[in-house]
Amino acid sequence: MISNTDETTTPNAFFPKVSVVIPIYNGESDLPELISCLQSLTYPAQQVEYLLVDNNSSDNTLSILQGTAKNSSITIIPKSENNIQSSYAARNTGIRAATSEIIAFTDADCRPQSGWLESLIAPFVKPEVVIVAGEIAALDGTTILEKFADRQETLSQKHTLAHKFCPYGQTANLAIRREAFAKVGLFRPYLTTGGDADICWRILRENIGCIEFAPNALVKHRHRTTLEELESQWRRYGRSNRYLHELHGVDLMPDIKINEYGYRIARWLLKELPTDSLRTFIGKATLVDLLNTPIGLFTARARGLGQKSAKLPENAKTIEWL
């Protein structure tokens, strides 16, 4: 069961202690803006600890974290996870060090908005809520690929919360009660993608409690700007599909057949392109409209290749515990 939070009914006095866990790999360029966002949050600073976990970075991430922690207006606790190169292993390190009953997650390249944590934590006033997913929106982009992804709402939690197998939230904007980890275990540390779905499904299918969507708990993230980055993103989505199929029996995404590619390209060239070109000329369409079909086919092909080539490593089945 999923519901949207009506924050106007949540008591303003509900500010439990929260641990925010953020895995970081070679994040020195992201850290100044990330720290600025964390310092601007409206949640009472004395009620939050920020566990920033360096995942064996080759840049100055750890030293920057250590220096920032000494001179910050918020409680920053630098941690390291150098044994396993995986954001999920880094999150597990943060969870183990956390002292709060509610643990929130975001990523180093995300930009939590000022009311993010306050809105994300509000649903936990209801004891049956064990997972809360906030919304993920795009930072302002200028390239065609960014605008395409923004129109598709590629990052939105609306897609994952509507998953036909079981809803889940992405770790870029998620909070989970510590008791849920105690009952089902932590993230699979050797998993490289799909771990957010895996942990949510393990919790929800144990009937520990429900997941709730907090649309006003907003985190912003930048879309991919090059075809290489876009292909890598969608290949990862395909690998995630394969891994979750092997772990949970989820249906694989159907491949687009060669003849369907041909049909859709022909339809685009003969019908959509001429129509959208005219609409663009008179100001009623954009380049994104013109290129929507070929970009969509490009991402579908990348996802299909990722799904077809992936094989779940045996150690990725491992679950760590508190």
Give the pLDDT score at 10. 44
Torsion of CA 252, 256, 258, 260, to 10 degrees: 150
pLDDT in tens, the chain (322 residues): 565 654 444 445 799 999 999 999 999 999 999 999 999 999 999 999 999 999 999 999 999 999 999 989 999 999 999 999 999 999 999 999 999 999 999 999 999 999 999 999 999 999 999 999 999 999 888 899 988 888 888 889 999 999 999 999 999 999 999 999 999 999 999 999 999 999 999 999 999 999 999 999 999 998 899 999 999 999 999 999 999 999 999 999 988 888 888 899 999 999 999 998 988 889 888 888 899 999 999 999 999 999 999 999 999 999 999 9
Find where tokens 């429900």 sit.
210
- Rounded CA-CA distance 29/265 in Å is 40
Q: 257: Cβ–Cβ under 8 A, 6 or more apart, which residues?
A: none
Q: Is the dihedral of CA 252, 257, 262, 266 positive or negative?
A: negative
Q: What predicted TM-score, i.e. pTM, was given to this entire model?
A: 0.92
Find where tokens 């202690």 sit.
17
Give the pLDDT score at 71. 86
**Residue 93: what residue type?**
T
Q: By the 8 A CB rule, do 43 and 117 touch? A: yes
Q: 74: Cβ–Cβ under 8 A, 6 or more apart, which residues?
A: 38, 39, 45, 48, 50
Q: By the 8 A CB rule, do 174 and 104 touch? A: yes
- Rounded CA-CA distance 50/61 in Å is 15
DSSP three-state, residue 199? helix
- Rounded CA-CA distance 104/219 in Å is 12
Q: By the 8 A CB rule, do 297 and 158 touch? A: no
| Fold type of domain 7-224 | Spore Coat Polysaccharide Biosynthesis Protein SpsA; Chain A (3.90.550)
- Rounded CA-CA distance 120/173 in Å is 8
Where along the chain do its domains lie? 7-224, 244-317
